[in-house]
Structure 1
Amino acid sequence: LPIDELEYWFINDGSTDGSLSEMQKLNTLDPQQVHYVFFFT
C-alpha cells in the first residue's frame, strides 16, 4: 500500500452498537481496503 493509504480491519466481537453494519457498508464501498472478521468468545 502507498504510505497515504490505510487498510482497515474490524474485529466483530458480537457487540450490539451497530459498528458491524457500518463496517459492512464501508466494505461494500471499498472491499480492497476495509475488511471485517468475526471473533466470539
Structure 2
Amino acid sequence: VDNFTARFDSFVSSDVLRILVEAVRFNLKALEIFILLP
C-alpha cells in the first residue's frame, strides 16, 4: 500500500496531471460554448 501511495504521489506531481487539468478545462469551455450556442 505504501508503494502504491508513493507511486500515486509521484504521478500527481508529474506533468500528466497538468495535461489532464488542461484537457478538462478545454472540455468545460467547449461544453459551455456548445450550451450557449442555441
Q: Which has the larger Rg?
A: 2
User: Which of the two has greater strand per residue?
Assistant: 1
Q: How would you bin the TM-score normalised by the shorter chain? A: 0.3 to 0.5
How does the TM-score come out when normalised to structure 1? Answer: 0.36
User: Which of the two has greater helix per residue?
Assistant: 2
